[in-house]
């Protein structure tokens, strides 16, 4: 079965129904399908093997977790400082948080900083153990006014965007097409 952008233009409820129908159709079956999609979330939900194509060339293929592990840029850490009414104190607090994060994760860098929130990209090598990472972030709640934090693995969307960014950096302006049009994947089958 070939499916080209099957959920484009659907509302969330209809999209979920379609995904459930596709999953049920191939569960425990010897049949397979090829699915093209712009939506990495859809590929992640439905597919056992995912291939990412940029300008008609296959860049990678494998399970969602394999692609995240191999091509993902590590972890995303979002921290929120204690809300401060005084903007000068807020900036001082965020600088203290920034110093704390860089001490805990030496190769981390701040990708975004707005108000009392910051988003860091933390390389995999900076996190030897998730338990230790969470323990140090909990320490940051007492030491430097971190109110809350979120640590997550790079998403499939981020993996795709990294491939697309590399393509743009190579200066290939011969193809004006959206590179997502070439994403290929196959529906997930139950073991």
In the predicted model, is pLDDT for residue 96 greater than 80?
yes
Query: Nearest CA to 182 among 20, 61, 37, 67?
Result: 37
Average pLDDT in the chain: 83
Residue 65 half-sphere exposure, CB side, CA atoms within 13 Å? 2
Environment class of 117 (CB within 10 Å of its CB; exposed 0-12, middle 13-18, buried 19+): middle
Q: How far apart are CA 37 and CA 107, in angstroms?
A: 34
In what side-by-side order are the strands of the sheet with 2-4? 2-4, 34-36, 184-187, 47-54, 57-62
pLDDT in tens, 5-40: 999 999 999 999 999 999 888 888 888 889 999 888
Residue 100's pLDDT is: 93
Predicted local distance difference test score (pLDDT) of residue 87 = 67
**Residue 185 backbone phi and psi in degrees, to 5:** -155, 165
d(CA 66, CA 147): 33
pLDDT at 91 over 90: no
pLDDT at res. 183: 42
- For residues 68-92, give the mean pLDDT: 81
Is residue 172's pLDDT more than 60? Answer: no
């Amino acid at each position: 079965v070939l499916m080209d952008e099957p959920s484009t233009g659907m509302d969330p409820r209809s999209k979920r129904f379609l995904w459930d129908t596709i999953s049920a159709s191939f569960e425990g079956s010897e049949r397979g399908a090829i699915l093209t999609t712009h939506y990495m979330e859809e590929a992640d939900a439905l597919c056992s093997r995912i291939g990412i194509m940029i300008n008609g060339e296959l860049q990678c293929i494998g399970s969602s977790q394999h692609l995240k592990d191999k091509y993902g840029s590590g972890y995303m850490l979002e921290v929120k400082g204690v809300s401060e009414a005084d903007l000068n104190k807020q900036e001082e607090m965020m600088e203290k948080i920034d110093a704390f994060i860089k001490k805990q994760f030496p190769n981390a860098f701040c990708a975004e900083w707005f108000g009392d929130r910051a988003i860091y990209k933390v390389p995999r090598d900076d996190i030897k153990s998730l338990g230790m990472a969470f323990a140090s972030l909990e320490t940051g709640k007492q030491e430097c006014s971190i109110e809350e934090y979120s640590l997550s693995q790079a998403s499939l969307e981020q993996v795709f965007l990294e491939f697309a960014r590399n393509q743009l950096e190579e200066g290939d302006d011969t193809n004006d097409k959206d590179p997502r049009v070439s994403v290929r994947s196959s529906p997930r089958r139950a073991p």
